[in-house]
Amino acid sequence: MNNGIIEKRKDWEKDTIYKMIHLYCKKHHDAVNELCEECLELYNYSISRIDNCVHKIKKPVCSKCKVHCFNKEHRNKIRIVMRWSGPRMICHYPLRAFKYLFYKLRY
């Protein structure tokens, strides 16, 4: 497997999750340029999970994954964030949203 491809995919996922959490944080926690402390903690936790994913290049989007690597508390928080941010990604980041949907259908 090509480590460059794996790292590129991980970077894309990290950037996507940041954008989703940032959209949520701006609306619900009045954050403007940076994430609030709670959202930053969720982002950092998400990054650690992405970095340690057992699937590597064949990694599905988290909602389709059979291995739940998030603990229950963080899984509930990220679900809330993603349910709220997901539909709004189409307006704010349309290409990224369609790429995410492609990954979701593909794996």
Owner of token pair 């690597």: 69
pLDDT at position 100 is 77
Q: Find all residues with CB under 8 Å of 84, minimum gap 6, and list them.
A: 23, 24, 27, 28
Residue 29 near residue 38, CB atoms below 8 Å: yes
List, for residues 2-23, the tens digit of each pLDDT value.
Answer: 678 778 888 988 999 999 999 9
List, for residues 25-39, the tens digit of each pLDDT value.
Answer: 999 998 888 999 999
DSSP 64: G
Instruction: Quote the number of domains for the chain.
Output: 1
Enclosing domain of residue 49: 3-106
List, for residues 62-84, the tens digit of each pLDDT value.
Answer: 666 777 788 999 999 999 999 99
Angle at 62 between CA 34 and CA 100, to 5 degrees: 70
